[in-house]
Chain A
């Protein structure tokens, strides 16, 4: 049996009396690429936020390569990268400095400059690297959030509607990157409303409806 990179048991989340996510068990394996689809308000983002540790689940446990996300934060977070749909950045750091902090905090200092140059070049942000983020468009911010995820080591990547503000070329690039990551045994879960993206990635699809996840 292949190693499990991300595992969630009995995961649920309620807002008051409203149960946005019904109890669910799920797991992601190395090289697995899954798209999560569902209507607006179906619970996609709630699930992604719970899995990424940004939203504390009402019930259940999440572990990354066996490390509990809340019990062993340091080891679990080293293995997880998350890209939100609307990333908010520090107003007083430039794009380059954001990358620097994230890479260095994860101990990825050695090849930082080369890696950052590559990523920013690929996403078309190289000329805008010294800008503060208020000067960035929504698409540019999303690209930077992707670069922030990709600049450091991880084994599980969670993306919440990563193509919502991307142009065609950037979407193509993202697809290539995701496929390359999968072949390097990274597990990826992404939410999307874009059927072309699902087709392009040839990914397994999970669907969520009224907070009930179907992984079949």
Chain B
């Protein structure tokens, strides 16, 4: 048995790590529809087919990107597409390395679950094997985008060399360009990541953390930029000599230098990196690594399995920390207390992602208003409805997941509904009004009815979202913290509400030539009546969740 020749520590570490890798692999196999319990030839053939299909698909996508990459390489202010591609490759690798280094200075790069912590961290297993096996397990998934980028650079460089001349007969040249770049970029990335992880392992061997170490990556970034400015290249070489460790092999990968020399160089760097990791991890504290990464492991699993609520809560927990002084926002008795709660919660959930998502509310509306043709406009309105309904679903689902608390407030179901939806509704209406103003300022013809309809229109989407979620809720599941997601019904009902009101405006103004104020009044009335129906229906459903 081959396995018995391996060191005992390595076998123990591999046993633990392979469980996680196996479960990750099983997840992806399930996702592509492969049943690992099915041992038939047909099942095996299906797996081979899927792998070939995905490989060809990836290749096709990367080739499609190559034309665009070639244009960029030609347009960049470098002396040739080759140096442009080498500079981009080197910059991407440096950024990846600095980000890894920054992350390793703040938190252990070695991520352990509770089970790992129990099985490994409390045992005297050789830490170097743990570091090595954990590094190898995470390396591929972290590098995959960089490798794809490297392939696109290789293809792009080829396109830039022969613009418009390449045909399907040149596919082998494409393949060769991709393989050359991979032969360089995979070991280079291996070297960069192992060096960053070695730093993380070294930090974990200290008795006390030093917060100043977090500045290492930013300081390095500044030094690199300063080096590029103040230490220029000499002679005929385009890149300064101190960057050759990276730029020379990348140029070799692009066909601008000797490939064996480039490969030899990156293999040497990769070996140096892994040696560094081996030496630095001898005394690293696994218990500390587990403490630092327990949430991270949970977050990764939540994201992998699509548990977005859990992932959101973990991120928020990390952002908020453990303690906070009470909000200074004044609180009033009655239903206002719930509005206060939702405002404080909304304020505390602000993150860059949230800001971007909220910016898309007026952004998409503006795009829909400025579209010249109706088909695109309708498509954008549907996307807007789907997007905005998510803004309403988030607070609704958060409150429903605390079912025991929600049910203890002394308010009717309709009042609860208002208290939850009021804040996002105000923000959506403001976003819509901003989009309408911007569209009007930039020359779009906006009927006055549109501004008035933004309130009942947005309310309709909010109530459609609530209704859709409530109809799927079961009290038994809510008590377990499970709240259903929106379904396609949210979008359908949202489209009906927005469609009926917009249709009424169009019909009366364009077909019957009714005066503007009558149009506004009638459309507002129709939309509000629809909203009232949805409001009562949603209240009924919330009250009667079984």
Given contact pairs A90-B398, A92-B349, A55 touches B475 in the complex (Cβ within 8 A): yes
- Are B404 and A84 within 8 A (Cβ)? yes
- Are B323 and A94 within 8 A (Cβ)? yes
A107 vs B410: C-alpha distance in the bound complex, in angstroms?
A: 9
Name A36-71 residues within 8 Å CB distance of B.
49, 52-56, 70
- Are B326 and A105 within 8 A (Cβ)? no
Q: Is A73 an interface residue (CB 8 A)?
A: yes
> Which of the residues B336, B402, B407 comes within 8 Å of A52, measured between beta carbons?
B407
Q: Is A78 an interface residue (CB 8 A)?
A: yes
- Are B332 and A77 within 8 A (Cβ)? no
- Are B402 and A90 within 8 A (Cβ)? yes
List residues of chain B with CB within 8 A of the CB of A134: 317, 322
> Which of the residues A81, A89, A109 comes within 8 Å of B333, measured between beta carbons?
A109
Q: Is B161 an interface residue (CB 8 A)?
A: no
- Are B320 and A132 within 8 A (Cβ)? yes
Given contact pairs A15-B476, A93-B341, A101-B341, A130 touches B407 in the complex (Cβ within 8 A): no
Q: Of all chain A residues, which has the CB nearest B401?
A: A88
Over the window 328-366 of chain B, the binary record of Cβ atoms lying under 8 Å from chain A Cβ atoms (1 yes, 0 no) is 000111111110110011001100000000000000000
Q: Which of B217-225, B239-247, B538-546 contacts A (4 or more CB under 8 A)?
A: B538-546
List residues of chain B with CB within 8 A of the CB of A70: 543-544
List residues of chain B with CB within 8 A of the CB of A81: 408
Q: Is the interface of A mostly helix, strand, loop or mixed?
A: mixed
A216 vs B424: C-alpha distance in the bound complex, in angstroms?
A: 52
- Are B545 and A56 within 8 A (Cβ)? yes
Over the window 100-135 of chain A, the binary record of Cβ atoms lying under 8 Å from chain B Cβ atoms (1 yes, 0 no) is 111011111100000000000000000000111011
- Are B337 and A54 within 8 A (Cβ)? no
Q: Is B405 an interface residue (CB 8 A)?
A: yes
- Are A89 and B402 within 8 A (Cβ)? yes
Interface residues in B, total, Cβ within 8 A: 47
Q: Of all chain A residues, which has the CB nearest B476?
A: A55
A101 vs B313: C-alpha distance in the bound complex, in angstroms?
A: 20
List residues of chain B with CB within 8 A of the CB of A195: none
Q: Of all chain B residues, which has the CB nearest A45?
A: B479
Q: Is B409 an interface residue (CB 8 A)?
A: yes
Q: Is B413 an interface residue (CB 8 A)?
A: yes
Query: What distance in Å separates the Cβ of B523 from its nearest Cβ neighbour in chain A?
Result: 34
- Are B337 and A101 within 8 A (Cβ)? yes
Name B228-282 residues within 8 Å CB distance of A.
none
A56 vs B479: C-alpha distance in the bound complex, in angstroms?
A: 12
A80 vs B404: C-alpha distance in the bound complex, in angstroms?
A: 12
A88 vs B337: C-alpha distance in the bound complex, in angstroms?
A: 19
Q: Which of A52, A78, A92, A97 has the most CB of B within 10 A?
A: A92
A54 vs B408: C-alpha distance in the bound complex, in angstroms?
A: 9
A97 vs B337: C-alpha distance in the bound complex, in angstroms?
A: 10
Q: Of all chain A residues, which has the CB nearest B348?
A: A92
- Are A135 and B323 within 8 A (Cβ)? yes
- Are B402 and A88 within 8 A (Cβ)? yes
- Are B320 and A104 within 8 A (Cβ)? no
Query: What distance in Å separates the Cβ of B403 from its nearest Cβ neighbour in chain A?
Result: 6
- Are B322 and A135 within 8 A (Cβ)? yes
Given contact pairs A55-B479, A104-B331, A87 touches B344 in the complex (Cβ within 8 A): no
A49 vs B544: C-alpha distance in the bound complex, in angstroms?
A: 15
- Are A101 and B326 within 8 A (Cβ)? no
> Which of the residues B337, B398, B412, B545 comes within 8 Å of A73, measured between beta carbons?
B412
- Are A105 and B320 within 8 A (Cβ)? no
Query: What distance in Å separates the Cβ of B250 from its nearest Cβ neighbour in chain A?
Result: 45
List residues of chain B with CB within 8 A of the CB of A102: 405, 408-409
A200 vs B544: C-alpha distance in the bound complex, in angstroms?
A: 39
Q: Which of B316, B322, B332 has the most CB of A within 10 A?
A: B322
- Are B340 and A101 within 8 A (Cβ)? yes
Q: Is B53 an interface residue (CB 8 A)?
A: no
List residues of chain B with CB within 8 A of the CB of A107: 333-334, 410
- Are B337 and A104 within 8 A (Cβ)? yes
A174 vs B337: C-alpha distance in the bound complex, in angstroms?
A: 28
Given contact pairs A101-B337, A105-B338, A107-B334, A91 touches B313 in the complex (Cβ within 8 A): yes
> Which of the residues A74, A88, A109 comes within 8 Å of B404, measured between beta carbons?
A88
In order of increasing CB-CB distance, the 10 nearest A-B pairs are A104-B337, A109-B333, A78-B410, A105-B337, A135-B322, A92-B348, A77-B410, A56-B546, A101-B341, A107-B333
